[in-house]
Amino acid sequence: MGYLMKRILSTLALCLGLGTAAAAQEIAVVTHGQPGDTFWDVVKAGVEAGAAEFKADVSYASPDSFDMSKMAKLIDAAVDRKVAGLIVSLPDSEALGPSVDRAVKAGIPVISINSGSDEAHLLGSLLHVGQNEFAAGRAAGEKMTELGGKNAICINQEVGNIALDLRCAGFAQGFAGQVQMLSSSMDKQEMMAVIRGALQTDATIDTVMALGADSVGLPAIAAVAAEGRSEGMRIGTFDLSDGFLQAILDGQAIFAIDQQQYMQGFLPIGLMKDYLEKGTLPAGDVQTGPNLVDASTAADFLKK
């Protein structure tokens, strides 16, 4: 079924279900962000601020680990509650597609955030708020090449998350040298062991691309230091944290790619409420990144 036809059917279903939607004003936000992940803590803070700003009834839920089965059940639960709107991240469109499709067929409008920009509309999302992950990865690769990198590792902490796969793939395209893809869990000790193992195996590695600031970037800095390889090593990350920003200022890392996760939590609440009340949306997806943060701007972000 074409995208336009899906949108038409979704709109018709919404109109037919107006009585139910009017009774249930809850906007459900379901993400794959694990509790305690500093990146997703900021997204959740944006959601809460959006709920207060736009006077919306908002719930937030996420699985306790990167588990698409658990996340799908959270989406299904929101559909069963007949929520007025659904805001969802899409790290695995194949696994989450049936649950999102249930929402669309039930007449629940969907806005996607953070991950899944390439497939969000095919699943029935009306709008995506986030960054193009492949393009962001390519920009990071081009920057590392410009900085003189020749042999890189790109570390994925959530295997199966399409957004992270796209970051590494984009990085490999933008980087002129050699790129080795590594995988690890979110466990920081395992992360350090994986990175140290790569450095011990290949003495020519001069570039480390992390896909998360606290989850990968900081362990990468520690692993490089433990191997005595800090001098001349180029370390960059996707996303921001106070710790990684300070590392940039201290000369331990070079840059971070900011996708403005607070905005990814805040904006969709207002957009969804406006859609529910007035039927209006922006003409296109909202690009929140990528924005490169280096030593010239890191201090400004630490003040925010």
Write out pLDDT tens, residues 230-272.
999 999 999 999 999 999 999 999 999 999 999 999 999 999 9
What pLDDT is attached to residue 24? 52
Nearest by Cα to 212 from 239, 186, 244, 191:
239
- Section 11-24 average pLDDT: 42
The residue among 6 and 264 whose pLDDT is bigger is 264
Residue 7 has pLDDT above 80, yes or no: no
Residue 9 has pLDDT above 50, yes or no: no
Question: Distance of CA 8 to CAs 104, 116, 227, Å?
Answer: 11, 21, 57
- Section 172-179 average pLDDT: 98
- Section 36-51 average pLDDT: 94
Q: What does the DSSP 8-state code read for residue 26?
A: P
The residue among 37 and 42 whose pLDDT is bigger is 42
Residue 45 has pLDDT above 70, yes or no: yes
What pLDDT is attached to residue 88? 98
- 12's enclosing H/E stretch is helix 3-16
Burial class of residue 297, CB neighbours in 10 A (0-12, 13-18, 19+): middle
Could you give the CA distance from residue 281 to residue 127 in angstroms, rounded to a whole number? 8
Structural domains for the chain: 3-131+260-289 (3.40.50.2300), 133-258 (3.40.50.2300)
Could you give the CA distance from residue 256 to residue 253 in angstroms, rounded to a whole number? 8
* pTM across the whole model: 0.84
Nearest by Cα to 24 from 142, 109, 111:
109
CB-based contact 207:232 (threshold 8 Å): no
Task: Give the whole-number percent of the chain exceeding pLDDT 70.
Answer: 92
The residue among 79 and 186 whose pLDDT is bigger is 79
Please state whether beta strands 255-258 and 291-293 pair in parallel, antiparallel, or not at all (unpaired). antiparallel
- Section 273-298 average pLDDT: 96
Q: Which amino acid is at 102?
A: R
What pLDDT is attached to residue 205? 98
Q: Tell me which of 21-30, 92-101, 151-160, 218-227 is least confident.
A: 21-30
Nearest by Cα to 158 from 190, 119, 186:
186
- 181's enclosing H/E stretch is strand 178-183
Residue 18 has pLDDT above 70, yes or no: no
Residues 6+ apart with CB under 8 A from 206: 148, 149, 150, 151, 152, 232, 233, 234
Q: Which amino acid is at 298?
A: A
